[in-house]
Amino acid sequence: MKHLFIANLLLSILLFGCDDNSVSNNTTNNTNNNNELCAEETCNDLGVCEVTDTGEPYCECEDGYIWDGDNKLACVLPPDNCEGVTCNQNGTCELDEDNSPYCECDAGYTWDGENKLACVPENVDWKPVIYLYPPEPLQVNVQFAVPEDVELLYTYPEYSSEGWCVNAYPDGTLYDCQTGLEFYALFWEGITPDNFDLQTGFVVKSSDTVPFLEEKLALLGLNRREANEFIMYWLPVLKANSWNFIHFALQSWTQSVPLLVEPKPDTSIRFLMLYSPLDVPVQINPQKIIPPKRKGFTLVEWGGRRVQY
């Protein structure tokens, strides 16, 4: 019996030893198989190739990335919000760190105000309007003195090769010389040279926009109707920002976009409001504004442009 027990014990040791060797060999074989299956899979360098229990390779994608549809061997960004975002054909939709879309605008273009999903030409002058107040009914012709420097986008009434021709009345009413249609101002938008000095200006908090504009527009020489129309157009734009840097281009505007008006006005009040949205206030030397005197045949023009400050 003693010899039989020893024989059985030796047999068990041999069997267990074989089992250990078998497990070790299987593990090595599985690792080798896994390496072979993943040898050519890069996962777009955005993950690590692994193998399922059934021997199927797949990508373990990094955080923020997913499989490319049914292709489990490629890691890509998840479907984003760029679908349908054209950036006005003037840029490329990208994703920020929060995976939110925005337009990377082409050279010569910038965001359309606070709309980061649209790219518009830089140096666009928005809604310049020209008012005419003759002391008595008068036919007036208005032209851009250097038309090659002005790329017109929109005009109303239509700007012809000879400019605008209107019959103007003392209350500002205008009648087109050709159609006889009535207008209260000449409207245009376009791209013009960028020749402005932003060394002075104002930093305005959103909640202070209305009192600021009412004060400054009066100093600039606008009457109440003109000021109302200015504020109605620009208030939603400016109040959308926490703060705004604002500079009123006066002489630089008349030099940048000179007008040829016949007959020549006795008083010409023209300015372009340059603004730049700010997240926080900055220090700026205040702009000095000398109030003009309206007398005789008066021309008034205002508009605005977003700038980078």
Q: 226 or 94, which is more confident?
A: 226
pLDDT, the chain, mean: 88
The answer on 159 and 59 residing in a single domain is no
Of 50-59, 211-220, 243-252, the poorest mean pLDDT is in 50-59
pLDDT in tens, 22-33: 344 444 455 566
The answer on 116 and 38 residing in a single domain is no
Tokens of 45: 């360098």
The answer on 287 and 182 residing in a single domain is yes
The answer on 92 and 204 residing in a single domain is no
- CA dihedral defined by 300, 159, 274, 119, rounded to 10 degrees? 160
At residue 148, the pLDDT reads: 95
The answer on 247 and 151 residing in a single domain is yes
Residue 242 lies in a domain: yes
Distances (CA, A) of 78 to 27, 51, 66, 83, 239: 35, 23, 6, 12, 35
At residue 8, the pLDDT reads: 53
Residue 11 lies in a domain: no
Residue 145 lies in a domain: yes
pLDDT at 5 over 60: no
Question: What's the whole-number mean pLDDT along residues 229-246?
Answer: 96
At residue 21, the pLDDT reads: 40
At residue 31, the pLDDT reads: 59
The answer on 293 and 146 residing in a single domain is yes
Instruction: Work out how many domains the chain is built from and give that number.
Output: 3
Residue 228 lies in a domain: yes
The answer on 94 and 68 residing in a single domain is no
At residue 302, the pLDDT reads: 98
| 35-70 core/surface letters (b: 16 or more CB in 10 A; e: else) | eebbeebebeebbebebeeeeebbbebeeebebbee
The answer on 158 and 100 residing in a single domain is no
Of 16-25, 77-86, 116-125, the poorest mean pLDDT is in 16-25
Q: Where in the sequence is the domain holding 45, given as residue range(s)?
A: 34-78
The answer on 131 and 217 residing in a single domain is yes
Residue 264 lies in a domain: yes
pLDDT at 169 over 70: yes
At residue 112, the pLDDT reads: 75
Strands (E), 136-185: 138-144, 151-156, 164-168, 174-176, 182-183
Q: Is 6 exposed, middle or buried (0-12, 13-18, 19+ CB in 10 A)?
A: exposed
The answer on 182 and 103 residing in a single domain is no
pLDDT in tens, 49-86: 999 999 899 999 987 678 988 899 999 876 667 877 88
DSSP 288: P
Residue 28 lies in a domain: no
At residue 200, the pLDDT reads: 98
Residue 1 lies in a domain: no
pLDDT at 116 over 80: yes
d(CA 170, CA 180): 17
Q: State the pTM of this model.
A: 0.68
User: Terminus-to-terminus CA distance in the chain, angstroms?
Assistant: 101
Q: Is 133 exposed, middle or buried (0-12, 13-18, 19+ CB in 10 A)?
A: buried
CA 136 to chain centre: 45
Q: 108 or 167, which is more confident?
A: 167
d(CA 255, CA 268): 13
Q: 157 or 76, which is more confident?
A: 157
The answer on 70 and 176 residing in a single domain is no
pLDDT in tens, 253-278: 999 999 999 999 999 999 999 999 99
Residue 19 lies in a domain: no
Half-sphere exposure of 25 (CA within 13 A, CB side): 6
Phi, psi of 102 (to 5 degrees): -155, 160
The answer on 105 and 198 residing in a single domain is no
Give me the CATH number covering residue 49: 2.10.25
How many other CB atoms are found less than 10 A from the CB of residue 276? 19
Q: Is 263 exposed, middle or buried (0-12, 13-18, 19+ CB in 10 A)?
A: exposed
